């Protein structure tokens, strides 16, 4: 199940775990990423908490936790090569995996068509 937030994060939810990244639109706005700071595995975060930071040649920006949960994995490859996000934002450029406290909370997030209407 693919969902989107107004803060330009995407979530792919499988078996109660959300893989989270930033959208192609966010990447286009930021430009070439030069640094990614990821959360700690095991961290418990609430919806809206800053979870990661990205820096580009244009600006620094927070990536927010889209739902309540616990970080169960991070994409360490981004630390060495942030440009992976620019090349494949909705795939290999994922940031972290979040074990959701309540999967049903994802119902309040946007479907892809609603997100495209937001950024269109």
Quick: pLDDT tens for 9-26.
999 999 999 999 999 999
Both structure tokens of 17? 């775990």
- Cα separations in angstroms, 107 against 6, 44, 90, 102: 14, 21, 20, 10
Query: Is this model's pTM higher than 0.85 or not?
Result: yes
Task: Give per-residue pLDDT as tens, 84-119.
Answer: 999 999 999 999 999 999 999 999 999 999 999 999
**pLDDT tens-place string over residues 22-81:** 999 999 999 999 999 999 999 999 999 999 999 999 889 999 999 999 999 999 999 999
What pLDDT score does 8 carry? 96
Return all residues near 64 (Cβ < 8 A) that are at least 6 apart: 5, 7, 9, 47, 48, 49, 50, 51
Domain spans of the chain, in order of start: 2-102
2-102, what's its fold? Answer: OB fold (Dihydrolipoamide Acetyltransferase, E2P) (2.40.50)
SS3 content of the chain, % helix, strand, coil (to 5): 25, 40, 35
């Amino acid at each position: 199940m693919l969902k989107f937030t107004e803060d330009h994060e995407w979530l792919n939810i499988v078996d109660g775990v959300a893989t989270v990244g930033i959208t192609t639109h966010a990447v286009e706005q930021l430009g070439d990423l030069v640094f990614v700071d990821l959360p700690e595995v095991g961290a418990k975060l609430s919806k809206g908490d800053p979870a990661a930071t990205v820096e580009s040649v244009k600006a620094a920006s927070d990536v927010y936790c889209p739902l309540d949960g616990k970080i169960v994995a991070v994409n360490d490859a981004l630390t060495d090569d942030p440009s992976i996000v620019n090349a494949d934002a909705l795939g290999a450029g994922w940031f972290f995996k979040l074990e959701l406290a309540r999967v049903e909370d994802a119902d309040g997030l946007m479907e892809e068509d609603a997100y495209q209407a937001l950024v269109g």
